[in-house]
Chain A
């Protein structure tokens, strides 16, 4: 079974990020790490290949400056190889362009299944997996909490507000995975050392058949016009305890329909 996992390499969320005031986009000229929300997809893919007893996990990523640190993590977890799309022309690419580039890189891999995180932890557009499915004309299942392969189709538990839906879908398909649904493995020492020799194929926009007008700022169909701070959280309600505070707390919780 061949599973392609789309992974994003992002600035470390533990370090305060900065926006470029000119472009209103996140500065990405720092060391990048594997987006934690993608580590769930990598783990799920590795488990599926283990369960199938054969096959491999291939990573596809788009990142500036030939950045590979995040790929190294996913390769150390057990992925077999990676395709890295990196090209100065790509700076400013929007979600749809990103999806087209990723889809083009994925297309020739002969994947049975394409997995992605539901949304990245830096951009949060949350549309790229579905756009990849659209570009490749493949079925798309979102918000998966589990995937089970059943011959030439998959059974997916799809997380909803009230619980989950059971979805059956023919392969190949694109599935986006909800963060937190599996426990991503920490790379073993052997995995870390083996990752050094795993192939990472770097591709430019031109390699994928895109010219400069189709990618980056030039090709973007969306524009960030303004960035504003999130509204500050309102101060909470302070209840002074005069011996009867519990009645107010009970009333508050009842009002919230918690109790």
Chain B
């Protein structure tokens, strides 16, 4: 299905964006929803789609050209992710690339950039991102995974939780505590790139309901030896550095949901055009049409906000964080409304795998919880945008 119903002139911010959209939709559309469902059903990976996206340079649009990328930004990567998802292929690994590549680009050493960025752009090197811990979810300051000095490097120990795609990863970008606590008792954080097969790492998968190709893992680090080259940027500067990846992650997560919402509404609108139960297509009934129209408006708002968040991020604006958070919030909520209404429009068929809607539910629902919860975004907006007292 080539996506044509959703106007993108509202959201595109560069003159090459329509061409990029159409090309990504063409490449991903050769695979489509049935392919993706089959991959998930077989517990396989969408390797062919991944390679096709890589071959067209879409995996590295946001990576500088000197490191094998396209030299664009999150404005472009947003389109790559959204158009792929809009073809019924919500590739969560694309979100990981939105975290790791910008962190390395902004804070990595030259050696690190040379080693990882061309591979990420070419799709043949994969990196997971490990931040969440069983006892430190949203509160990153409570991270206990620790890098202890060891010769000229470190020994890494601790447990990470809900680390996506470790089974496919060549390495893991780990957020860990290092150095002594400051006067307020807070530990400094540092970022490391750790080989995924390093001695001392064990992984255990966390069975999840999300029907995605990417699996979730608990990752145990038991005195994993790190050399000095493993450190990203400056020791103790990890919290500041990690935001180079967390804001794009919100934009990328929103892009997945905006794409899913488009897939749902396009499927449902076509169905409502064709399906005649009495004398008219069911889409002629306002009880069917209006909720779909309202959902469309919500999705367009979310897409507009996300495109703007990406534009602000690419411009280095201080406000990119607030807008990226709000865009993720808007995309999660509006996509769930859109997908639910799409399922409803199809009646019983809404739940049939043949139509490919209901099995998108938990992928969309995921982003109401991750990468940052709806509630934490409301806390952030209440405190930083409205100046209300901090609630936690």
- Shortest Cβ distance from B52 into A: residue: A186
- Nearest CB of A to B30, in Å: 9
Other-chain contact of B23, A14, A69, A76, A196 (Cβ < 8 Å): A76
A76 close to B19 (CB less than 8 A): yes
Q: Which of A162-211 contact B (CB under 8 A)?
A: 186-190, 192-193, 195-196
B319 at the interface (CB under 8 A from A): no
Other-chain contact of B26, A69, A186, A189, A192 (Cβ < 8 Å): A186
A72 at the interface (CB under 8 A from B): yes
Per-position contact with A for B130-167: 1 when CB-CB < 8 Å, else 0?
A: 00000000000000000000000000000000000000
Per-position contact with A for B7-29: 1 when CB-CB < 8 Å, else 0?
A: 00000000110111011001100
CB-CB under 8 A from A189, the residues of chain B are 20, 23, 56-58, 60-61, 70, 72, 76
Q: A14-B4, A196-B16 are in contact. Are A190 and B70 (CB under 8 A)?
A: yes
B23 close to A190 (CB less than 8 A): no
B71 at the interface (CB under 8 A from A): yes
CB-CB under 8 A from B19, the residues of chain A are 72-73, 76, 187, 192, 195
CB-CB under 8 A from B71, the residues of chain A are 193
CB-CB under 8 A from A196, the residues of chain B are 15-16
- Taking each of A72, A190, A196, which has the highest tally of chain B beta carbons within 10 Å of its own beta carbon? A190
- Taking each of B2, B16, B76, which has the highest tally of chain A beta carbons within 10 Å of its own beta carbon? B16
- Nearest CB of A to B131, in Å: 29
CB-CB under 8 A from A72, the residues of chain B are 16, 19
Chain A residues bordering chain B, tally (CB within 8 A)? 14
- Shortest Cβ distance from A187 into B: residue: B23
- Nearest CB of A to B218, in Å: 36
A1 to B49, CA, bound (A): 34
Other-chain contact of A193, B2, B27, B58, B72 (Cβ < 8 Å): B72
A258 to B60, CA, bound (A): 51
- Shortest Cβ distance from B70 into A: residue: A189
Grouping DSSP codes into helix (H, G, I), strand (E, B) and loop, the B interface class, with mixed when no group exceeds half, is: loop
- Nearest CB of A to B123, in Å: 13
Per-position contact with B for A45-83: 1 when CB-CB < 8 Å, else 0?
A: 000000000000000000000000100110010000000
CB-CB under 8 A from A193, the residues of chain B are 16, 70-72
- Shortest Cβ distance from B27 into A: residue: A186
CB-CB under 8 A from B15, the residues of chain A are 196
- Taking each of A186, A188, A196, which has the highest tally of chain B beta carbons within 10 Å of its own beta carbon? A186
A186 close to B56 (CB less than 8 A): yes
CB-CB under 8 A from B26, the residues of chain A are 186
- Shortest Cβ distance from A73 into B: residue: B19
Other-chain contact of B57, A14, A69, A188 (Cβ < 8 Å): A188
B23 close to A186 (CB less than 8 A): yes
Per-position contact with A for B278-315: 1 when CB-CB < 8 Å, else 0?
A: 00000000000000000000000000000000000000
A192 to B71, CA, bound (A): 12
- Shortest Cβ distance from A15 into B: residue: B4
A81 to B52, CA, bound (A): 26
CB-CB under 8 A from B58, the residues of chain A are 188-189
CB-CB under 8 A from A76, the residues of chain B are 19, 23
- Nearest CB of A to B14, in Å: 10
B16 close to A192 (CB less than 8 A): yes
B23 close to A192 (CB less than 8 A): yes
CB-CB under 8 A from A188, the residues of chain B are 23, 55-58
A72 to B20, CA, bound (A): 11
- Shortest Cβ distance from B56 into A: residue: A188
A192 to B72, CA, bound (A): 11
A195 to B70, CA, bound (A): 13
A193 to B15, CA, bound (A): 10
CB-CB under 8 A from B76, the residues of chain A are 189
CB-CB under 8 A from B60, the residues of chain A are 189
- Shortest Cβ distance from B2 into A: residue: A14
A196 to B72, CA, bound (A): 13
- Shortest Cβ distance from B19 into A: residue: A192
A52 to B55, CA, bound (A): 23
A193 to B56, CA, bound (A): 12
- Shortest Cβ distance from B25 into A: residue: A186
- Nearest CB of B to A242, in Å: 27
A14 to B23, CA, bound (A): 16
- Shortest Cβ distance from B20 into A: residue: A192
- Nearest CB of A to B19, in Å: 5
A73 to B71, CA, bound (A): 19
Per-position contact with A for B54-98: 1 when CB-CB < 8 Å, else 0?
A: 011110110000000011100010000000000000000000000
- Shortest Cβ distance from B65 into A: residue: A190
CB-CB under 8 A from A73, the residues of chain B are 19, 22
CB-CB under 8 A from B16, the residues of chain A are 72, 192-193, 195-196
- Shortest Cβ distance from B69 into A: residue: A189
A189 to B23, CA, bound (A): 9
- Give 5 nearest A-B pairs by CB, closest first: A189-B57, A189-B70, A186-B26, A188-B56, A186-B23
Besides A76-B19, A186-B26, A189-B61, 7 other CB < 8 A contacts?
A14-B2, A187-B23, A187-B56, A188-B23, A188-B57, A192-B19, A196-B16
Query: What are 9 pairs between A and B in contact, CB < 8 Å?
Result: A69-B18, A72-B16, A187-B56, A189-B23, A189-B56, A189-B61, A192-B16, A196-B15, A196-B16
Q: CB within 8 Å of B: which residues of A?
A: 14, 69, 72-73, 76, 186-190, 192-193, 195-196
Q: CB within 8 Å of A: which residues of B?
A: 2, 4, 15-16, 18-20, 22-23, 26-27, 55-58, 60-61, 70-72, 76
